[in-house]
Amino acid sequence: MKCPFCGYEESKVIDSRPTDEGEKIRRRRECISCGKRFTTYEIIESVPIVVVKKDKSRQAFDRVKLFNGMLRACEKRPVSIDQIEKVVTEIETDLQNSLDREVTSVHIGELVMEKLKELDEVAYVRFASVYRQFKDINTFMDELTKLLAKD
C-alpha cells in the first residue's frame, strides 16, 4: 500500500478490524520508510454476473428468480427451503468464482438440473420439462429413460 505522505510503496498492517456494518475492513498501517500511520479500508468488489438469454438479450443475474424456479419445481416434494437455498448459493458461488462475467442461461439451467437430479428426481424432471421445452410425450419419455438408465 502506497504511503500518502512519502509515496513509499511498502507499509505494515498494525491493526485490522471490520467496520460496524461488516461490509469493510479497516486497517491501520505504518509506512516502513517514514514511519507515519494511516488508515485504509478494504471492501469486497462484487462484479455483477450478466446472463445471456437464448434470444441474445442480457440481464443481471437474479438469485430470487433462480430460487423461485427451483421452488416451483420442488413444490409438494420433500425438499426443504434450506436445501433449495443451499443449492442456489452453491450455483451463485460457482458463477462468481468462474472467470466469466457473462454466463448463458443454458449453462445456469444445466447447473440447476445437475443439482436437482441429486436433490430430488421428480423436481429434476419437472424443471427439465419446462427448461428443455419437451414438445411431446416421446421427448419426455427419453429423458425419463436416461434418468432410469443412470440408476
Evaluate whether 31 touches 5 at the Cβ level (below 8 Å): yes
Evaluate whether 119 touches 127 at the Cβ level (below 8 Å): no
Expressed as residue numbers, the domain containing 26 is 11-43
Instruction: Break the chain down into helix, strand, coil percent, rounded to 5.
Output: 45, 20, 35
- Claim: this prediction has a pTM higher than 0.75: no
83, 130: one domain: yes
Q: What is the tally of structural domains in the chain?
A: 2
Whether residue 54 lies inside any domain: the answer is yes
Whether residue 100 lies inside any domain: the answer is yes
Does the pLDDT at position 149 exceed 90? no
pLDDT of residue 151: 60
pLDDT digits 0-9 by tens, 13-50: 999 998 877 778 999 999 999 999 999 988 877 778 99
30, 55: one domain: no
Pairing of strands 50-52, 58-60: antiparallel
Region 96-122: what's the mean pLDDT?
90
58, 131: one domain: yes
List the single range of 31-35, 43-47, 66-70, 147-151 with lowest mean pLDDT.
147-151
List the single range of 8-22, 42-56, 115-129, 131-145 with lowest mean pLDDT.
131-145
88, 146: one domain: yes
23, 58: one domain: no
pLDDT of residue 50: 94
Evaluate whether 13 touches 31 at the Cβ level (below 8 Å): no
Evaluate whether 29 touches 12 at the Cβ level (below 8 Å): yes
pLDDT of residue 9: 94
Q: In this predicted model, which residue has the larger pLDDT, 19 or 107?
A: 107
Whether residue 92 lies inside any domain: the answer is yes
86, 130: one domain: yes
Whether residue 66 lies inside any domain: the answer is yes
